[in-house]
Amino acid sequence: MATRRSYLEAGKKRAPKGKFAIPDGWVARGFSFEVEWPEDHEVASSIRSQFGGRRYAFNWALGQAKADMDARKIVPAHESVPWNLYSLRKLWNAEKAAIAPWWAENSKEAYSTGIADLSRSMPGGRCLDHGWLRGGGCSTGHSSGRSKQE
């Protein structure tokens, strides 16, 4: 039985960190799909609502992060909530009935993906202290929330 050799054993060089390199002899394929917008007004309205819910959850979570940062400036001993996906979703689920009474009209994943986008763009909350919310940028951060055009 043949043994598998790793990249380095086969004499292949790795790409620089964070870059993807296609190994010699491999083929990469990319696909692009264009989706036709539904003509049915009810279906189109539902799709808009799903994306609106995602955007709303992203902006809500961003507002929570900004409020927490402001509280830390005023009271340095303020106990911050961890801004990871688990903590933000738990907080969203506790508050969603009060802040978004229409939440049940959309999929829970619509809100979850908005919160996940925010939590991925500020890993471990480290970016809060390094300018992420002030527009200094940290990976894929947005400093002022998302609008319909994004």
**Over the stretch 43-56, which tens digit does the pLDDT of each residue have?**
999 999 999 999 99
76 within domain boundaries: yes
Helix, strand or coil, per DSSP, at residue 117: helix
Q: How far apart are alpha carbons 147 and 56 in whole angstroms?
A: 9
Tens-digit pLDDT profile for residues 97-145:
999 999 999 999 999 999 999 988 876 555 544 444 544 445 444 455 6
Q: Please write the tens of the pLDDT for every residue from 12-50.
A: 566 566 677 888 888 888 899 888 999 999 999 999 999
Q: Reduced to 3 states, what is the DSSP secondary structure of residue 55?
A: helix
Kindly state whether residue 28 falls inside one of the protein's structural domains. no
Please give the model's pTM, rounded to 2 decimal places. 0.65
Classify residue 83: in a domain, yes or no.
Answer: yes
Residue 123 within a domain: yes
Q: Is residue 10 part of a domain?
A: no
Query: Which structural domain range is residue 72 located in?
Result: 44-130
Which DSSP category does 123 fall into? G
How far apart are the C-alpha atoms of 130 and 133, rounded to whole Å?
A: 8
Residue 79: what are its φ and ψ, rounded to 5°? -85, 110
> For the chain, what is the domain count?
1
**67 assigned to some structural domain:** yes
